Each structure stands twice: as structure tokens, then as C-alpha cells.
Amino acid sequence: MSFICDMCGECCRNLKLSPIYAELDDGTGKCRYLDANRCSIYNDRPLICRVDDAYEAYFKDVMSKDEYYQENYRTCEYLKNRRD
Ligand code: SF4
Ligand code: SF4
């Protein structure tokens, strides 16, 4: 099981919705490392941008991996619906 991301980039364009991404925000809510809808530092992106690694670091003791993925999918849908 792995997280399915369609690389829409919405999470990287809506950083203002969560204070934990403040250091990445270019001032408009978009990540300073987002380039043509892709992460320009993908292999070195911070832990908070790594779905599976963040689960191991912060969430594994409070929810199952499936629950965590479902929470993430709900957030993805919320972000995608906001742009419509
Ligand atoms: S909003 Fe979800 S599907 Fe879109 S890039 Fe972010 S993680 Fe991937
Ligand atoms: S570092 Fe990369 S994955 Fe993280 S918010 Fe910025 S563009 Fe998105």
C-alpha cells in the first residue's frame, strides 16, 4: 500500500492553510520550491512533505496507515474542490 498522488500541486500552492509550512511559503501561499507544478527539491523535500515518512514520525501511534491515507485523500479533495 502506498499513497497515490496525482501531482496536481494543490497542496504546494495552499501553504497558508497550515502554519507548519510557513518557512516554505513564498509569500503568496505557494511553495518557493514549486517549479512548473513540480517540486524542485523533491529528493530533499522536508519531512512534512513526505507522506509516508511523516506517518512514521508523527502519526503511527495515533492512527492506522489506512486512516492516515484517508485523511490525506480528504485533504487532497478539499484542496482540489477549492480551485473549482
Ligand atoms: S493535493 Fe494531493 S494529489 Fe495533489 S499534489 Fe498534493 S498530495 Fe498530491
Ligand atoms: S518542498 Fe516540494 S513538496 Fe514540499 S511544499 Fe514545496 S514544492 Fe511541495
Give yes or no for residue 82 having a pLDDT over 90: no
Phi/psi of residue 35, each to 5°?
Answer: -135, 115
Question: Residue 3 domain-assigned?
Answer: no
Q: What is the pLDDT of residues 45-72, one digit of tens each?
A: 999 999 999 999 999 999 999 999 999 9
Residue 19: what pLDDT? 95
Q: Any residues with Cβ below 6 Å from ligand 1, and which? A: 5-11, 76, 79
Question: Residue 4 domain-assigned?
Answer: no
Mean pLDDT of the chain: 95
Q: Please state, for a pLDDT cut of 90, what percent of the chain lies above it.
A: 92
Ligand 2 test: best mutation among 13, 21, 32, 41, most atoms within 8 Å of CB? 41
Residue 84 confidence class, pLDDT cut points 50, 70, 90 = low
Question: Residue 2 domain-assigned?
Answer: no
Residue nearest to atom 5 of ligand 2 (CA): 12
Helix (H, G, I), strand (E, B) or coil at 15: helix
Cα-to-centroid distance, 12 and ligand 1 (Å): 8
By residue count, the chain amounts to 84
Range of the domain at 42: 10-83
The structure's pTM equals 0.92
Could you give the number of structural domains in the chain?
1
